[in-house]
Structure 1
Amino acid sequence: MSPVVAYSLQLAPRVLRGLFRSTYSQLAMAKPCILATRLGAPGAIYKCYAPCIEKHFTIIPTEEFTQNRQTLSDSIQAVFVWGGALVVDRDLLQSLPNLKVVVNGGVGVDHLDIPLINSFGVKVCNTPHVVDNATADIGMGLMLASARKILDGHNYSVCHDSDDLPESSMGSDVSGATLGIIGMGRIGYKVAKRASAFDMKILYHNRNRRPEEEERAVGATYCAKMEDLLKSCDFVMVVVNLSPQTHKLIGAKELALMKPTATLVNISRGLVVDQEALVDALQRKAIGAAALDVTYPEPLPRGHPLLSFPNVIVLPHMGTHSRETTGVMVERMITNALAALRGDTPPNEVKV
């Protein structure tokens, strides 16, 4: 090998690194850089939303950042968190000197250490309100699917051995039944509005009672004690935020208070319900059924006991999983990030 060729080979990596730095420097000058899990990767924002984000930002995927941390650290001004694929910890924060905001897609921010992030002078934002209708819709969908055994009917249609529906396929009416809503915030109230259209009797338990005019609008009755609600309802829907106070809020004691024919619907967070206690209650037929959009972990591993019950529906956290809602969430993430980078107060800053 000639000395010239050998020198060229030695020089090549440095040239490539220089080109890489130059390319990203040019991009950073044109648009602010954000760190995000590669779009389309498992647990990341879908690729179809890339044009919307790239209109305003240069996206630096986490893999490229890991491989070229020294080169890219100064360029990143925002982090987009979607699901749990990207962990914002002290190590990451220390490596991003120009970071101004961490934007979470969705309402729940229990996976973010907000005091730690704020201690670096970085704001935290989420996308509230956007998810309210979609989450309320999935709650009603789960309740209806469980009560009327819609999945049983579909499975019968796919692989029936006779023309007669089995007695076990008979469901229960939702209209006229009693729904208990634990957590009457924005989403809980939207659930109540939908349930009132089904002529359901609505009870609710909340830290604070709603104004009487709001109760009358949906025909809801306040229960100061959650125990009173649990004893009285045909369906119990949990719609609370996850916090130390709501961690395993529904456990063995609460499940024992429910009617043996009642259905538990959880559209909040998996850890709000004690899953071991729920499995035990279902095995003992202490409650009638369960319909869950959220679990821990998500999705449940194959062979998990909750997946073995014919009277249990389990979804992999699909409450906000619609084209329209996801699109609005991404747009709201962009709005929050742009505001923070301008030095303005983001419309959805989360403060502790």
Structure 2
Amino acid sequence: MTNLKVLVSSNDFPDSGLQILREHFTVVQSPYSHFGEEGATQNKEELLKLIPGSSALVWVTHHPLTKELLDKAGPQLKIVATASAGYNHANVEELKARGIKLSNTPNVLSSAVAEIAVSLMLATARRFTENLDQVRRGEWEAGFVKVLGQDIRGSTVGVIGLGGIGQAVVKRLAGFEVAKFLYTGHREKPEAKALGAEFVNLDDLLTKSDFILLAVPLTSETRHMINSTTLGKMKSNAILINVGRGDLVDQEALYDALKSKKIYAAGLDVTTPEPLPKDHKLLTLPNIFVLPHIGSATVRTRNDMAVLTSNNVVNALTGKPLITPILE
């Protein structure tokens, strides 16, 4: 098997994953990062040079996997293994048409992403953007009723997508004295009963929740599921949290809702585009808190993701079932 070529798309794939691949295959790794501007320019050209003859592609990026790259790879490409839970960037229909397997890394990042979701809830409810600005300016607003925030205690938390991440968030909020957990999705989840979460339709969740968490994959169905219509159904004190993908939210509609205070606040770990330009109008608002897509960014989690990605490649190229398949 050592004659099989595996291409790793970025220079920052953890050694924990590389070691597994190198035990079995010939590993070629791009010298460039596949994130940001470098990924879109230098690395794109480098990957076109490196990809011919690859049996597997370890896709460490949020950049789209193009038809051009797949054409360059050749017919021996057997698997694309994404180092991410989301796979909207992996050109699923094209891979399916070519009979190429696809895997992702769900579950191993649920805990880390859930911690960021809870952090965003706290940051937005307690108005961190405004309060940090006070500290930086050295002008603190003194007073008993100045810059007051909202409580998680006694609130209704609505989860759109009670998968691994959504469930991990509910578990972490158990000590916050939340009054009620609601969730919605295609069907009821057997795990929900133990979590004390009630299945409702989307409209009920939007109209009743104080916090609304987006934890669903980006698909044609979920793209811009948060828009002017759905924002209009939310309570005036509602706080929107997005740890899924940026395009779940129509950011123009979100800006309008935050600017006019139709909703209370938003906390985003994902945006469109990424990185969000420093002069983007969302960043002019006091009632938004934005993080640079760091949901899974812990040492342990990224190593776990790398190991799972690599083991999926090993299984695919040695005739074993994928551990976390999207396409088999």
| Cα separation, partners in 2 of 1:61 and 1:96, compared to 1, 3 Å | farther
1:350 aligns with 2:318: no
Aligned length: 316
1:189 aligns with 2:167: yes
Q: Which residue of 2 aligns with 1:60?
A: 28
Match of 1:242 among 218, 230, 240: 218
Q: Is the 8 A contact 2:129 2:286 kept in 1?
A: no
Match of 2:6 among 34, 40, 44: 34
Listed as ranges, the matches of 1:1-352 within 5 Å are 30=2, 32-40=4-12, 45=13, 53-62=21-30, 73-74=52-53, 76-85=54-63, 87-161=65-139, 164=142, 167-200=145-178, 201-211=180-190, 214-223=191-200, 225-351=201-327
Deviation at 1:31, TM superposition (A): 6.3
Partner of 1:241, secondary structure, is: coil
TM-score by length of 2: 0.85
| Cα separation, partners in 2 of 1:234 and 1:91, compared to 1, 3 Å | closer
| Cα separation, partners in 2 of 1:138 and 1:86, compared to 1, 3 Å | same
Q: Deviations over 1:214-251 (max 9, x none)?
A: 4442222221x211221112111111111111111111
| Cα separation, partners in 2 of 1:148 and 1:238, compared to 1, 3 Å | same
Q: Deviations over 1:272-303 (max 9, x none)?
A: 11111111111211011000111111121121
Q: Which residue of 2 aligns with 1:7?
A: none
Unaligned runs of 5+ in 1: 1-28
Distance 1:215 1:349 in 2: 24
Distance 1:65 1:250 in 2: 32
Unaligned runs of 5+ in 2: 32-42
Q: Is the 8 A contact 2:7 2:51 kept in 1?
A: no
Whichever residue aligns with residue 88 of structure 2, its letter is D
Partner of 1:99, secondary structure, is: coil
Q: Is the 8 A contact 2:9 2:57 kept in 1?
A: no
Partner of 1:169, secondary structure, is: coil
Deviation at 1:316, TM superposition (A): 1.9
Distance 2:25 2:136 in 1: 47
| Cα separation, partners in 2 of 1:293 and 1:66, compared to 1, 3 Å | closer
Q: Which is further off, 240-249 or 59-68? A: 59-68
Q: Deviations over 1:64-107 (max 9, x none)?
A: 99679789733x22111011347342553454343221110111
Structure with the largest fraction of helix: 1
Distance 2:155 2:46 in 1: 57
Q: Deviations over 1:140-160 (max 9, x none)?
A: 110011112345444444442
Distance 1:207 1:187 in 2: 16
Aligned alpha-carbon RMSD (Å): 2.9
| Cα separation, partners in 2 of 1:90 and 1:195, compared to 1, 3 Å | same
| Cα separation, partners in 2 of 1:71 and 1:311, compared to 1, 3 Å | closer
Q: Deviations over 1:251-272 (max 9, x none)?
A: 1111111111111111111111
Distance 1:71 1:269 in 2: 29
Deviation at 1:32, TM superposition (A): 4.0
| Cα separation, partners in 2 of 1:163 and 1:32, compared to 1, 3 Å | same
> Higher relative CO (CA 8 A, sep ≥ 6), structure 1 or 2?
2
Distance 1:336 1:68 in 2: 21
Q: Is the 8 A contact 1:36 1:86 kept in 2?
A: no
Distance 1:67 1:226 in 2: 44
Distance 1:162 1:128 in 2: 43
Distance 2:283 2:24 in 1: 43
Whichever residue aligns with residue 8 of structure 2, its letter is A
Percentage of matched positions with identical amino acids:
33
Whichever residue aligns with residue 59 of structure 1, its letter is V
Partner of 2:52, secondary structure, is: helix
Whichever residue aligns with residue 338 of structure 1, its letter is V
Distance 1:38 1:179 in 2: 37
| Cα separation, partners in 2 of 1:241 and 1:84, compared to 1, 3 Å | closer
Distance 1:245 1:142 in 2: 25
